[in-house]
Amino acid sequence: MKIGFVSSEVYPFTKTGGLADVSGALGKYLGENGFDIRIITPLYAQSIVRTKDFHPVDFLQGLSMTFNHRTLYYSVYTSTLPGSSTFVYFIDCPELYHRESIYTNHQDEYIRFGLLNRAAIEIFQYMNWSPHIIHCNDWQSALIPLYLKTLYKWDKLFKNTRTLLTLHNVGYHGNFPLQVVHELGFTDFMPLLDDYDTRQGRFNFLKTGVIYADMLSTVSKTYAREIQTAEYGHGLEAMLSYRNQRLVGIVNGVDYSEWNPETDREICKNYGPDTLHLKAENKACLLNELKMPYHFHQPVVGMVGRLVEQKGIDLVMEVMEKVLEENTFQLIVLGSGEEHYERYMYGLQARNPEKVFFYSGYNNSLAHKIEAGSDIFLMPSRYEPCGLNQIYSLKYGTIPVVRRTGGLADTVKAYDWQTQQGTGFVFEHYDGAGLKWALEHALSTYNHQEAWRNIQKQAISEDFSWEKQVREYIGLYKKIVQMG
Ligand code: ADP
Ligand code: GLC
Residue 65 near residue 71, CB atoms below 8 Å: yes
- Is 172 touching ligand 1 by the criterion CB < 6 Å? no
The answer to whether position 133 is within a domain reads: yes
- Per-residue pLDDT tens for 220-241? 999 999 999 999 999 999 999 9
Q: Is residue 341 domain-shared with residue 381, that is, in the same domain? A: yes
CB of residue 384 inside a 6 A radius of ligand 2: yes
Query: What pLDDT digit, counting tens, does each position of 45-100 carry?
Result: 999 998 889 999 999 999 999 999 899 999 999 999 999 999 999 999 999 999 99
* 362, 371, 381: residue to mutate for ligand 1 pocket, most atoms within 8 A of CB: 362
* Residue 342, ligand 1, Cβ within 6 A: no
Average pLDDT, the chain: 97
Residue 146 pLDDT grade (very low, low, confident, very high; cuts 50, 70, 90): very high
Protein residue whose Cα sits closest to atom 2 of ligand 1: 18
The Cα 14–Cα 48 span in angstroms is: 7
Contacts of 43 (CB under 8 A, 6+ apart): 49, 77, 90, 91, 92, 93, 97
Helix runs in 201-312, H state only: 205-212, 221-226, 237-242, 279-289
Ligand nearest to the CA of 392: 1
Can you give the pLDDT at residue 56?
98
> What pLDDT is stored for residue 63 in this prediction?
98
21 and 167 housed in the same domain: yes
Given ligand 1 and candidates 169, 218, 364, which is best to mutate, with the most ligand atoms within 8 Å of its CB?
Answer: 364
The upper half-sphere exposure of residue 57, i.e. CA atoms within 13 Å in the direction of its Cβ, equals: 21
Q: Give the per-residue pLDDT at 51.
A: 83
Ligand 2 atom 1 nearest Cα: 168
With the most atoms of ligand 2 within 8 angstroms of its CB, the residue from 168, 206, 304 to mutate is 168
Cβ–ligand 1 distance for 130 under 6 Å, the answer no
385 in contact with ligand 2, CB cutoff 6 A: yes
Q: Which residue, judged by its Cα, is nearest atom 14 of ligand 1?
A: 18
Report the pLDDT value the prediction gives residue 5, as an integer from 0 to 100.
98
Residue 309 sits in the same domain as residue 424: yes
The residue to mutate among 216, 252, 255, 473, having the most atoms of ligand 2 within 8 angstroms of its beta carbon, is: 252
Mark whether 426 and 319 lie in a shared domain: yes
Please indicate, yes or no, if residue 321 is contained in any of the structural domains: yes
- Tell me the C-alpha distance between 330 and 357, whole Å: 8
Q: Give pLDDT tens digits for 394-415.
A: 999 999 999 999 999 999 999 9
**Is the model's pLDDT at 44 over the cut of 90?**
yes
DSSP output for 31-45? HHTT-EEEEEEE--T
Write the CATH number for 305: 3.40.50.2000
Q: What is the pTM of this model?
A: 0.97
Quote the CA–CA distance of 306 and 311 in Å, as a whole number.
7
Compute the distance between CA of residue 343 and CA of residue 81 in angstroms, rounded to an integer.
Answer: 37
For residue 406, the ligand closest to its alpha carbon is 2
The CA 168 to ligand 2 mean position distance, Å, reads 5
Average pLDDT over residues 359-381: 97
Same domain, 249 and 310: no
Pick the ligand that lies closest to the CA of residue 384.
Answer: 2
How far is C-alpha 446 from the geometric centre of its chain's CA atoms?
30
Number of independent structural domains in the chain? 2
Cβ(388) – ligand 2 distance below 6 Å: yes
pLDDT surpassing 90 at residue 271? yes
Q: Specify if 312 maps to a domain.
A: yes
4 lines ligand 2 (CB under 6 A): no
Asked if residue 267 belongs to a domain, the reply is no
> What is residue 250's predicted lDDT score, i.e. its pLDDT?
98
- Report d(CA 227, CA 240) in Å as an integer: 7
- The reply to whether 235 falls in a domain is yes
Band of pLDDT at residue 243, cut at 50, 70 and 90: very high
Does 385 reside within a domain? Answer: yes
Residue 38: closest CA among 168, 210, 161: 161
Residues 347 and 387 in one domain: yes
Could you list the residue range(s) of the whole structural domain that residue 421 is in?
276-463
- What does the CA dihedral 432, 404, 235, 17 come to, rounded to 10 degrees? 90
Task: Based on the fold, state whether residues 216 and 294 are members of the same structural domain.
Answer: no
Task: Give yes or no for a contact between 466 and 253, defined as CB atoms under 8 angstroms apart.
Answer: yes
With the most atoms of ligand 2 within 8 angstroms of its CB, the residue from 9, 103, 219, 402 to mutate is 219
Strand locations in 138-293, DSSP E?
162-167, 175-177, 202-204, 215-218, 247-249
**DSSP 3-state of 89:** strand
The backbone torsions φ and ψ at residue 247, rounded to the nearest 5 degrees and listed phi first, read -120, 125
183 lines ligand 2 (CB under 6 A): no
Can you give the pLDDT at residue 60? 98
- Going from the Cα of 19 to the center of ligand 2, the distance in angstroms, rounded, reads 6
CB of 381 within 6 A of ligand 1: the answer is: no
Residue 270: inside a domain: no
* Residue of minimum CA distance from atom 5 in ligand 2: 18
Best residue for ligand 2 mutational test, from 16, 169, 307, 391 (most atoms within 8 Å of Cβ) = 169
- For the chain, helix, strand, coil in percent to 5 are 45, 20, 35
Q: Is residue 259 part of a domain?
A: no
CA of 267 to the centre of ligand 2 (A): 24
Q: Are 203 and 180 in contact (CB under 8 A)?
A: yes
Task: Tell me, using a 6 A CB cutoff, whether residue 174 lines ligand 1.
Answer: no
The answer on 473 and 425 residing in a single domain is: no
Q: According to DSSP H, which parts of 227-297 are helical?
A: 237-242, 279-289
Question: Is 378 in the same domain as 447?
Answer: yes
69, 159: one domain: yes
Distance 216 CA to ligand 1 centre (A): 24
Cβ-proximal residues to 444 (8 Å cutoff; 6+ apart), any chain: none
Task: Quote the CA–CA distance of 385 and 406 in Å, as a whole number.
Answer: 5
Compute CA distances 287 → 233, 246, 318, 363, 447, whole Å: 40, 48, 26, 16, 20
* Claim to verify: residue 72 and residue 177 sit in the same structural domain: yes
On whether both 94 and 62 belong to a single domain, the answer is yes
Q: How far is the CA of 210 from the centre of ligand 1 (A)?
A: 25
Q: pLDDT confidence of 249, banded at 50, 70, 90?
A: very high
Q: Report the C-alpha gap between 124 and 248 in whole angstroms.
A: 27
Residue 407 CA, closest ligand 2 atom number: 9
CB 232 within 8 A of CB 170: yes
